[in-house]
Amino acid sequence: MDYRNQESDEEEEQQPQGNQEPWVRIQQHTFTNWINDKLAVLDLKVDNLRKDFQDGVLLCRLMEVLKRRGIGKVKDKAKLNHYERAGNLQLAFNAMREDGVRLVNIGKNMGFDEIGQPAMIRYRDGMRLASL
């Protein structure tokens, strides 16, 4: 398990994508491809994990595809306010928790515009799925 301090997270976030560690770029690329493969059935695509998951819409759609059912009322419009984004993210996180997914580094003080902060997602068996 990789425990990094907050300073190293901030340094990594400030680096342009080309200056990231190779394993970070590879992991982001692999995870983005996996997400796009799953979202293809809805004709949706993720280009940037940090930006595309900010409002929770694509994250909810991904959870619906993975669960093969709806997860609740997703607010999906051009401009979402803070409460609508929070509601979408909560829907997605609740759907993950129902399936035994453990979310790490997602706290109540995290700004919704910063959903791309490092977040480890683990399944029940402890397998690390992604670092967003």
Q: What is the CATH number of the domain that holds 76?
A: 1.10.418.10
Residue 82 maps to a domain: yes
Per-residue pLDDT at 69 exceeds 90: yes
Of 63, 53, 58, the C-alpha closest to 98 is 63
Residues 6 or more apart whose Cβ sits within 8 Å of residue 120 = 103, 104, 105, 128, 130, 131
As for how many domains the chain has, the answer is 1
Residue 85 maps to a domain: yes
Residue 12 maps to a domain: no
- Indicate the average pLDDT of the chain: 75
Report the distance separating Cα 114 and Cα 68, nearest Å: 28
What is the domain extent for residue 55? Answer: 23-131
**What was the pLDDT predicted at 82?**
87
**What was the pLDDT predicted at 16?**
53
| Whether this model's pTM surpasses 0.85 | no
pLDDT category at 24 given cuts 50, 70, 90 is confident
Residue 90 maps to a domain: yes
Per-residue pLDDT at 56 exceeds 80: yes
Report the distance separating Cα 119 and Cα 104, nearest Å: 6
Residue 119 maps to a domain: yes
Can you give the C-alpha Rg of the chain in angstroms? Answer: 15
